[in-house]
Chain A
Amino acid sequence: MDPRPLLVLAAGIGAGALGLLPQAWAPGIDAGVQLALAALFVCIGLEVGRDEAFFETLRGLRLSSLLLPAASLIGGTAGGLLGGALLGMPLGLAAATGAGSGYYSLTSILLKEAAGPEAAAVGFFANLLRESAIIAAMPLFVRLFGPKGAVGAAGATAMDTALPFIVSSAGKDVALLSFASGVVLTLVVPFAVPFLYRLFP
């Protein structure tokens, strides 16, 4: 697990708690968040646009290959909703967190924008934990749910962070499917998270 996001979050919490960022800066910080979010989406687009393998994967996608990422997104959202209902949490936050598909950076940023720092923290921790659990327990996921179940559990991380672990536990045959599923989810998560948050009041 990459410790950097947690360390940066901890540094931010420390700075906020110690009052190193004066209250008067709040409007500027909000404007900065908006600007950084816009820059983030353009940069994601630039990275995607330059990646020829990404377009080859998209061209090779058939309707049937969309089933797996769709099931992963729906299953993750349903799981989030069930967990949220059991915990007595706002269902919009639970659904959006479940739909985050392990894409913790973007999920937390979108939830901060939609619902504030508390929701962002839940989105961040839950999706970071999902990515870490998948990497740590991949052989168990493959044994319990089969290769496709493991790819679905990995969510958006199936195209990058979790891919080597999926291949080593489930075999090379599933590599392309895993990458394609991750590609589709990476494109869908930025829209699914705010949409689901607003869908469940």
Chain B
Amino acid sequence: MPLWSFALLLAAGIAIGRRGRLPDRLLALSGRALTVSVYGLIFLIGAGMGAKAGLLGEIGPLALRSVLLALFATLGAALACAGVARLEARRGS
């Protein structure tokens, strides 16, 4: 799906939710639909992985790459935000 369609769908959902035009029962169902959609998609991602020949044998290396990427991304975000805090403190003092 193109990027603009994500924006359009998100904006449509926000507008409908904000105006409260939908019946409460239907709106209450959206939380459950969200959970079902997420788990359904995660299941299909898993099914795609399982069906792809050779990918199961790659789980170990994939997990290792994921651990390292998570480490780098988390430290990168923490360092950048600590830098912003230091800059703000220097400007304030």
Measuring CB to CB, which residues of chain A are less than 8 angstroms from any residue of chain B?
Answer: 4-5, 8-19, 21, 23, 29, 32-34, 36-50, 55, 67-68, 71-80, 82-84, 86-87, 89, 94, 97-98, 100-101, 105, 108-109, 112-113, 116-118, 120-122, 124-127, 129-130, 133-134, 141, 144-153, 155, 190-191, 194-195
- Contact in complex: A37, B41 (CB < 8 Å): yes
- Contact in complex: B13, A127 (CB < 8 Å): no
Determine the main DSSP class of A at the interface with B.
Answer: helix
Report the contact-size class of chain B (Cβ under 8 Å from the partner).
35 or more
Can you list 12 A-B pairs, Cβ within 8 angstroms, ordered by A?
A14-B50, A33-B44, A36-B44, A42-B16, A43-B31, A47-B13, A49-B18, A89-B69, A117-B45, A133-B74, A145-B78, A152-B82
CB 8 Å contact bits of B39-62 with A (1 = contact, 0 = none): 111111111111110011011001
Tell me whether A145 and B43 are in contact in the complex, defined as CB-CB below 8 angstroms, given that A76-B76, A117-B49 are known contacts. Answer: no
Q: Which residues of chain A have C-beta atoms less than 8 A from B16's C-beta?
A: 42, 45-46, 49
Interface positions, chain B 7-46, Cβ under 8 Å from A, are 7, 9-20, 22, 27, 30-31, 33-34, 37-46
Q: Which residues of chain B have C-beta atoms less than 8 A from A124's C-beta?
A: 42, 45, 66
Q: Within the assembled complex, what's the spacing in Å between the Cα atoms of A50 and B19?
A: 8
- Contact in complex: A117, B78 (CB < 8 Å): no
The answer, among B11, B47, B65, B71, for a CB contact under 8 Å with A12, is B47
Determine the main DSSP class of B at the interface with A.
Answer: helix
- Contact in complex: A77, B76 (CB < 8 Å): yes
Min C-beta distance of A128 to chain B, whole Å: 8
4 more A-B residue pairs beyond the given contacts A12-B42, A121-B55, with a C-beta to C-beta distance below 8 A: A36-B40, A71-B81, A78-B80, A79-B72
- Contact in complex: A47, B48 (CB < 8 Å): no
- Contact in complex: B48, A72 (CB < 8 Å): no
- Interface-central residue, B5, B14, B42, B67, by most chain A CB under 10 Å: B42
In the complex, residue of chain B having the shortest beta-carbon distance to the beta carbon of A42: B13
Tell me whether A47 and B30 are in contact in the complex, defined as CB-CB below 8 angstroms, given that A36-B41, A75-B76, A146-B85 are known contacts. Answer: yes
The answer, among A21, A29, A41, for a CB contact under 8 Å with B10, is A41
Q: Which residues of chain A have C-beta atoms less than 8 A from B81's C-beta?
A: 68, 71-72, 75, 145, 148-149, 151-153
Tell me whether A130 and B55 are in contact in the complex, defined as CB-CB below 8 angstroms, given that A40-B38, A47-B30, A49-B18 are known contacts. Answer: no
In the complex, residue of chain A having the shortest beta-carbon distance to the beta carbon of B15: A49
- Contact in complex: B77, A152 (CB < 8 Å): yes
